[in-house]
Structure 1
């Protein structure tokens, strides 16, 4: 892969371009006279995609995995596991997600100029992906006027999450139609539908395979439809039914593990893991895996334990999350150091997750199917994705077997517990799904603050208040406060 020079913006510059006010001379002062005015879509793809995935991993380790009791810190001054989330935690995600959204939008706009439908679709899919991360983290955010600093829009308005999601769905529809046309044209000409060879080599996700990009977009569509399914006005149930039952040929989705959207890390630049340069202590020395995480895997006799956790003596053992201040437990099982360079930690969305989405859709009556079928397929795929065999009789084990006699919440708990492990190190998806469903049920430790309530969002970055104050104030008034307990639009529980 060719090395590509990227124009890096400071955190303040990102905030200016995406969400706030700056001087009118900013663009002129930051123009590189030796650079092309517009980068090609192919040259933008790998660096932007890698940047988002690695930074998502970084914050999964720091934030999501503590909130969701994958691990708990053994440093008493880090209180994420006690639901203490300081405003400064927001800056990292806000700045970097908006920066790379600019690149994804540029992929689309550059492709639009030449009517390159393949890259138009790829740009749309990745724009939707990173925008969903932003709005699911914060709620109402700059969208329709965001990422337009070069056009002089330096104080963008905040759009309602409902409106944002409506447009995200429209973009995924457009991407699917564009790729359908490109694939049909290639097949009519007797060719495999792929990007040109030179461009395919710059695609680190699918090596130019357009049918797989199409499946990625539609699988992402299912994730976001399910996220909004509690809101009747979103029309999610009907759309899921159309995609899965009425018109599945037009909405292909992942059909096996190999089709999953995983940016597989390598041991050499540029596609290295977020953790490759960390000291072992920085990766697994300041926290221990929790009782919730370890005990569930132990009870299920899940073979992924051997890939994820170290032994504590001769057993796998976790520590409590949310312990009282000053009562630091002895660290026991920790992350395997090999995970620092694990290719599968580059997961964006995988086949097993899609199976659990379909299982939930069947449970809720959105599609006519047996939720057990999708559940069993999801459990199997989640294990085999890690190149592990499913033990004999595993799906009949009491801790794993589908509980046909259980009530709705019991069955939803089963689905979401398995989905929780499937989303291991997948940005903030465990937390987003917990906020949506309340599952899997997490124990509340004695040191947990915020009245024992899981945070519902992160606060807006402080810099946004000063650089885009009027629009910030309007957004806060619309949402009902800039607080970690303020519910976003789709969060109705």
Structure 2
């Protein structure tokens, strides 16, 4: 009996000893603990590559919307029998889902986690990446869900409210960044600047300047205040190639290389008109020369041929011999979002508007052109900047010369712009030079050029030849261009009341003919 009691007591002691270390004994030695994740910031940092990767879109979000509307590229493919976005019959509209599902949602998770742990820099970094995406999406639709995003009853911000909120968030971000310039916690997740907060602080100022320029016609006082704040901030702007903001492709090919591989995109006719006319050496870095000399009989020294965006397309094979992307683009590992060339062009416009600290308009303009030539590895910039005679050329769609009256897709250029700066010219003429060169320099990043075109009317692009706009989406007159993308269908169905409310702040209803807040139609001269 005593022996049995001893065995029972010993068993209880052993059991108690085992349960003391039960939790440790049951931890998977091959699994990273939550505590370890937190110590290395992996529980927050893992969100950032996905957010950055989804700032840009792909074929539908960019190539068949902004890229077509700003006339960088054009499709040779008669999608849906030619009745599609490019001809102003809205067929695809998905950028909203990308930004909200793959950027805003993970950004909110990252911010929540960062706030719980008191990680201010991570919180503001996520906030900045949200701005990078939202500031693009608003140029598509106008009002967006931003200041109340994630709340039980989220609402649309009017565009005026949205820009006010973006500027306020940039204030908060810059304050935290300025106080944490030596912080290295984001290094393992930052494939752009390797964790250098000072570099991200330049992004804050350069974004503030971009947004200030965008609203400069509709809200000149606010734009001037924000632009001057960006220029004066101690962190500085992106004014050298070493600070240029490129977003990694994370192992993917740039969308233009993929779509070119499908033979669904070609150089645009507007690119041919402007780049060939101005004898621009960057054309060889952008595009591939054609092999059929008959396509370029009017300019054999520049053997590049473009497709008219929004043109009449009979068969895909008709325009496949026209200029493709330069094959070198398939090897890109990153894509430009905001570079020194754009910042210099923004400073040039700011100087025209009399913003303090902006410097000299001509000096900034020429610095922007030089930065772009250097970015693309093009030569001959000095002769290019001195050219006061070359102008854009007329366009002839050669393969359709025998179709109907022989003028299908042809256009007479609307632009007489030259490259050389003319100090005696009007501010409006100077603005046309600035925006035309800014348009060329931003190639592969069509969002801001499309916004600039609607805001200023420059460069002077051709109208859509095959305009199939209709009452369902909004009628675009023959002498006008699309103004915006409608809200996505899911929002139209599930959030109709919110759209109806925010329409009262817009220049019209939810149609492609409704001008955005900053697209005032007024001649810019009144604001100089």
Please identify runs of 4+ aligned residues in structure 1 that moved more than 3 A: 34-39, 78-83, 274-281, 319-331, 387-392
Q: 1:273 aligns with which of 247, 253, 270?
A: 253
1:209 aligns with 2:193: no
> Contact 2:140–2:485 at 8 Å: present in 1 too?
yes
Number of corresponding residues: 431
Normalised to the residue count of structure 2, the TM-score between the two structures is 0.75
CA distance in 2, matches of 1:178, 1:43: 21
The aligned counterpart of 1:124 is 127
- Map Cα deviations across residues 112-165 of structure 1 (whole Å, 9 max, x no partner): 3333232222122112111212222211222233234xxxx2x52222111111
1:490 aligns with 2:490: no
* CA 1:74–1:277: 2 relative to 1, 3 Å: closer
> Contact 2:72–2:446 at 8 Å: present in 1 too?
no
The aligned counterpart of 1:173 is 171
The aligned counterpart of 2:209 is 222
* CA 1:290–1:482: 2 relative to 1, 3 Å: same
Q: 1:451 aligns with which of 444, 469, 477?
A: 477
Q: 1:468 aligns with which of 495, 513, 520?
A: 495
CA distance in 1, matches of 2:255, 2:359: 41
Q: How does 1:388-427 map to 2 (within 5 A)?
A: 388-398=378-388, 399-427=418-446
> Contact 1:73–1:81 at 8 Å: present in 2 too?
no
Name the structure, 1 or 2, with higher relative contact order (CA <8 Å, separation 6+). 1
> Contact 2:147–2:165 at 8 Å: present in 1 too?
no
What's the secondary structure of 2:180's corresponding residue?
A: helix
- Map Cα deviations across residues 61-89 of structure 1 (whole Å, 9 max, x no partner): 22222112222222233455754141x52
The aligned counterpart of 2:222 is 235
- Map Cα deviations across residues 230-285 of structure 1 (whole Å, 9 max, x no partner): 123761112322432xx342x411120121111144xxxx4423439937541xx2
Q: How does 1:3-152 map to 2 (within 5 A)?
A: 40-53=43-56, 55=57, 59-76=61-78, 77-79=81-83, 82-86=86-90, 88-90=91-93, 92-99=94-101, 100-148=103-151
1:252 aligns with 2:242: no
* CA 1:126–1:400: 2 relative to 1, 3 Å: same
CA distance in 2, matches of 1:144, 1:463: 20
Shift in Å, 1:356: 0.4
Structure 1 residue ranges without an equivalent (≥5): 1-33, 184-192
* CA 1:401–1:490: 2 relative to 1, 3 Å: same
1:293 aligns with 2:280: no
Q: Give the superposed CA RMSD.
A: 2.7
CA distance in 1, matches of 2:309, 2:58: 22
Larger Rg: 2
Shift in Å, 1:475: 2.3
CA distance in 2, matches of 1:474, 1:440: 34
Normalised to the residue count of structure 1, the TM-score between the two structures is 0.80
> Contact 1:71–1:289 at 8 Å: present in 2 too?
yes
CA distance in 2, matches of 1:376, 1:177: 33
